[in-house]
Amino acid sequence: MTKNKKVVFAGATLLLMVWCTKGYWTSDGNGRERVRDRLSMAYNDDRGGAIPVNLSPEAQAAFEQRERIINALKLEISQLERGCPKKKLEKYSLLPKIYAITPTYKRPVQKAELTRLSHTLMLVPNLHWVIVEDAEKKSELVANLLARTGMPYTHLHAVTPATWKIKPKEAWYNKPRGVLQRNAALAWLRANVKPDEEGVVYFADDDNAYSLEVFDEMRYVKTVGVWPVGLVGGLMVERPKVNAEGKVVGWLTVWSPNRPFAIDMAGFAVNLKLFMSKPEGKFKNEVQKGYQESEFLRHFVTSLDEVEPRADNCTKVNVWHTRTENPPLREEIRLKKEAKPPSDLGIEV
């Protein structure tokens, strides 16, 4: 960025502030277009994320200082947009868009989980929620829940064939989960996203716990961004190993650390343009246990060198692989045995 662009960028932030607080631009259509152009000009980074080579120490210091200012401004914009009315943001946000993909299926805790997740996602500016039910058809429960959020979303369904379903007494990790649902979401993205749209793709399962910071961290990822995930793999935290040069060099996990990407689904995001440029990148039912993430990511980056560590060089935890206990519904089972009506007759729980 040149000094001029920096000024434009700062100006854009100010304009956004005015626009958010005063509703200043709501009456003049041309004015809106002009602001939008200037905003997008300001945040489009023409360096493509590369650090210039062969800089003198002074130039290097100046470059780093500039990067810090830009990052601080980006963060400020995220925070400002968080307070903006959602409807306006859909059209005018200058933040790269986050496409969050959530596979879901019917179970007693489904509505509770989706309510919790939706109330997090509703706080994230410029996020489009793609939710895919593992079902023959879309349910009213999910449709109503989505409509109530007031956020941009896409509601899909894809049913898992019986051969790939987990049997009642079978361990959950025996079969891959969410493969067809995630792939349905990826196919939707490829059919509906403009190839040059700025943004990232993220897999947000409905049972995890998310800090808003994880969305700030992923938004500007240029290739594949990675970060720690708490409470996963039998550990307090699994995380990418980052060396003194700030490069990812491996994975701090105990279970199967030699996987190409020994990382949980919640621990990475893929740049949207990169995603759109590799149509073959998707999940497969026929992969070894624990290799889904590697199977997907190998299409987008060929070496760890290209991976971007986020969350302060992978030292901060902003997402947790929490698991919800199955509620003991023994009384419900007894009611059924005694041919009595269930407690939730006529009530959505």
Q: Residue positions in the annotated binding site for UDP-alpha-D-glucuronate?
A: 103-105, 134, 177, 182, 205-207, 321-323
Handedness of CA 275, 276, 279, 285 (dihedral sign): positive
Min dist CB 240 to ligand NAG, Å, is 12
**Of 164-183, which residues contact ligand NAG (CB under 6 A)?**
none
Show the site string, 191-230: x = touches ligand NAG by CB under 6 A, - = not: ----------------------------------------
How far apart, in whole angstroms, are the C-alpha atoms of residue 165 and residue 209?
25
C-alpha distances out from residue 22 to 26, 109, 227, 238, Å:
9, 41, 37, 44
Query: Is 202 exposed, middle or buried, given 0-12, 13-18 or 19+ CB atoms closer than 10 A?
Result: buried
Min dist CB 204 to ligand NAG, Å, is 23
Show the site string, 262-301: x = touches ligand NAG by CB under 6 A, - = not: ----------------------------------------
Query: Which CB, 37 or 312, lies closer to ligand NAG?
Result: 312
How far apart, in whole angstroms, are the C-alpha atoms of residue 125 and residue 97?
8
Is position 312 an interface residue for ligand NAG (rule: CB under 6 A)? yes
Q: Which stretch binds ligand NAG (CB under 6 A): 13-21, 35-43, 240-248, 290-298?
A: 240-248
Is position 57 an interface residue for ligand NAG (rule: CB under 6 A)? no
Min dist CB 216 to ligand NAG, Å, is 13
Is position 313 an interface residue for ligand NAG (rule: CB under 6 A)? yes
Provide the 3-class DSSP secondary structure of residue 103.
strand
Total interface residues for ligand NAG by CB under 6 A: 5
How far apart, in whole angstroms, are the C-alpha atoms of residue 255 and residue 290?
9
Residue tagged active-site, from 81, 113, 238, 293: 293
C-alpha distances out from residue 338 to 242, 332, 342, 349, Å:
59, 10, 10, 22
Q: How far is CA 24 from the centre of its chain?
A: 31
**Of 244-263, which residues contact ligand NAG (CB under 6 A)?**
244-246
Query: Which CB, 103 or 309, lies closer to ligand NAG?
Result: 309
Q: Which stretch binds ligand NAG (CB under 6 A): 121-129, 242-250, 292-300, 319-327?
A: 242-250
Query: Which CB, 239 or 321, lies closer to ligand NAG?
Result: 239
Q: Would residue 233 be called left, alpha or beta, if left means φ above 0 and alpha means ψ between -120 and 50 degrees?
A: left
Query: Which CB, 89 or 311, lies closer to ligand NAG?
Result: 311
- Cβ atoms of 178 and 103 closer than 8 Å: yes
How far apart, in whole angstroms, are the C-alpha atoms of residue 241 and residue 253?
9
How far apart, in whole angstroms, are the C-alpha atoms of residue 184 and residue 176?
15
Min dist CB 311 to ligand NAG, Å, is 8
Query: Which CB, 103 or 228, lies closer to ligand NAG?
Result: 228
The residue sitting closest to ligand NAG, measured at its beta carbon, is: 246
How far apart, in whole angstroms, are the C-alpha atoms of residue 197 and residue 337?
55
Min dist CB 312 to ligand NAG, Å, is 4
Query: Which CB, 230 or 309, lies closer to ligand NAG?
Result: 309
Radius of gyration over every alpha carbon of the chain, rounded to an integer in angstroms = 22
Min dist CB 310 to ligand NAG, Å, is 9
How far apart, in whole angstroms, are the C-alpha atoms of residue 102 and residue 116?
13
Tokens of 255: 């279970």
User: Is-catalytic flag, 238?
Assistant: no
Query: Which residues participate in catalysis according to the annotation?
Result: 293
Residues that bind ligand NAG (CB under 6 A): 244-246, 312-313
